[in-house]
Structure 1
Amino acid sequence: MKRLGEHKYSAVDTSWLDELCMKKFWDKCVTFCPMWVAPNLITLVGLIINLCTVLILSAYCYTASESAPSWVYFQAALGLFLYQTLDAIDGKQARRTGSSSPLGELFDHGCDSVSQVFVTLNVCYAMTLGAVPNGVFLISIISVIMFFAAHWSTYCTGQLRFSKFDVTEAQWMVISVLLFTAIFGAPMWSAEIIFGFQLRYIVVSVSLIISIIQIGGYLKTILSGGVGKNGSTVAGTSVLFPLFPLLMIILPFAMIYGKSNSSVYDDHITLFVLCFGAVGSKTTNRLVIAHMSKSELPLWDWIYLAPLALMLNQYYNYPFNEYHLLIGCTVYAYISLLIFCTYAMTRCDRRRGRT
């Protein structure tokens, strides 16, 4: 983290919705923020709003196969919209007040990595994907890969790039799904629309196609070579090296979910996704720090003990209750994530104070 304080934010935004209307809207919104409001406070408030609205929705849709009252979906849509708005104006507030810093960028990415888990749960709850075999886990995997791949490409190029269809468009798709469910009800997603295919299958299929195209774009950027020596990353390491931490996220949880002899992970899919998301969040945050500090990405992290414990429990024929162990691993994962984020923020703030 020695060079973290020297980092300068660099991004290219070609997002269709951003250019069409959202930037103008956000520019207007930020003018309502008092100059004394810290940008990180705006980010934190957005995260808390997103968390609270998802918790309310999860109370009604814990297995992602239940229907909730309309107002619950409305408040989740509103929560995501507010999060999106606050997440967009925090950087504008920082530039407006002259308080832009690596700490602010790191805090923003950290909150985004956690909120990405909540957004994933939102869409799964709204479309009752818990009723679809492997549906929630598949969406969770795609979500984690996309978020990680975006920062992987940044680690290679030194520049965060937003494509025509990116975060803003994806968030508006989720908001639209939530509003649709609020108006027409969750059972509408199981209605057969075209050739006997349920509406949710059609929407998920289209989303997967878009996601694959997006991931393909990231891979093209990565494989084109980085800005470092001989086409390496900003840290001078191989552009392929971040693949290993990504596999450390995906493969263990895929094995755990696929080899379970019980329905515990489907019955507690919210808990499972939260655990999976925490591991993905911390690994991605390590990648963000590696990019910002131009340092090598660590291969091992202690948070991997969470999926490792679940795997070993299966291997040794379940000496521990799967549900209780899942609770313990989820708590451990979030404690590990919290400690890491606190440590990283503190180090970054200290280094900023020295410059």
Structure 2
Amino acid sequence: MSLLDLAQNSTWLNLVLFALFAAGVWYSGSKLSLYVDLIAERTGIGKAFAGALLLGGATSLPELATTLTACASGAAQLAGNNLLGGVALQIAVLAGMDVFCLRNRPLTFFSPKAALLLQGVFLILMLSLIVMMLVTGELIVVAGVGLWPLVLAAMYGFGLWSFHRYEGDPRWEPAGELEEPPESSRDIKDVHLAEYKTTSTGTLFSWFCLAALGVLVCGFMVARAGEVLSDQTGLGQSLIGATLVALATSLPEVSTTWSAIRFGAYSMAVANILGTNVLEGALFLPADLVYREGSIIEAMDPASSFLAALGIVLTSIYLWGILERRDRTILGMGYDSALILLFYLGGMAVYFYQL
């Protein structure tokens, strides 16, 4: 009998397993931003694009594992709410980094990249399509796959192409005091560059893949433990999916964003979150492929569209902060970050009250 089988009869044991696997997600994710930053430096692919593609893709593996595991067992509401709850939570993570990493200087002030604005716009587009999807329900189903998930996946592919093309040829440049703080204030990056100077790019990519595998395996186990917790606690798939599981599967984004900011890769930190969130919408396609009890869209509660709408609000506030670049703070964070945290906490309270 496996540990997960034993945990089915013990809430406390299941909580311990959940915490252990979540810690594994954190540790593996903490290595990803370092490897991606070094790979971006050596290959010249651009940090915003690297953050969206490599970091965004790798740190989305727990969401993928959670989504597919939940869908395979028929827990469509848990899978969908994990994706949508994760979008809002990860924007709130960016806001929280202002307090812990850049006290008295807004993160949006140091990340005025045109590519980030483009990623934010695509995220709003994806979330708007998800709202329409949940309100209207599935329109066409062919061989068990709905039209809406295909549209979302196609939009994600077009978005990646646009990010890569636009980062190399931006149409505007920011104005203001400076684009990034002095490198001397983040000398951790210099230490990492010196430490990995003799390490080949191929080796770095291999380590990146190993860290991503750790994120995937631990994320899969977190999904299983979270599903059992939803039954044991009686809180239901909607609440557990939008909070506990979304938080655990967002740990890679938290750890990679923290690490990226510490060694001065601010644009990569923001692109990691925005790129991950854009990918969340595309994950409805593999979810629909694995969910065999019909269309996952039809199985979800239309009230979940509130989570998508909350993600639109938070993303819009963050884009406002990048555009305005106001170097003013309140309680040690930017005005935009304070508004995001306020709207996130208030929005989640409204959502749970309406359940």
- TM norm. shorter chain > 0.5: no
Shorter-chain TM-score category?
0.3 to 0.5
Identify the structure with the greater helix proportion.
2
Task: Tell me the TM-score normalized by structure 1.
Answer: 0.36
Larger relative contact order (C-alpha < 8 A, sep ≥ 6)? 2
